[in-house]
Amino acid sequence: MRLLIVEDERRLARSLAQGLTAEGYAVDVVHDGLEGLRLAGEGTHDLVILDIMLPGMNGYRVCAALRAAGHDVPVLMLTAKDGEYDEAEGLDTGADDYLTKPFSYVVLVARVKALLRRGRQGAGASPVLVLGDLRVDTAARRVFLGADEVPLTTREFSVLETLVTRPGEVVSKSEILEHVWDFAYDGDPNIVEVYVSALRRKLRPDLIRTVRGAGYRLERQEPAP
> Would you state the pLDDT for residue 14?
92
Q: What is the pLDDT of residue 15?
A: 92
pLDDT of residue 54: 93
Extract the residue ranges of the chain whose pLDDT is less than 50: 84-85, 123-124, 223-225
Predicted local confidence at residue 185, as pLDDT = 65
Question: So what's the pLDDT on residue 184?
Answer: 57
Residue 225 has what pLDDT? 47
Structural domains of the chain sorted by starting position, each given as residue range(s) with its CATH number in brackets: 2-122 (3.40.50.2300), 128-218 (1.10.10.10)
The side-by-side arrangement of strands in the sheet containing 215-218 is 170-171, 215-218, 208-211
How high is the pLDDT of residue 129? 81
Query: Rounded to two decimals, what is the model's pTM?
Result: 0.65
CA distance 214 to 31: 35
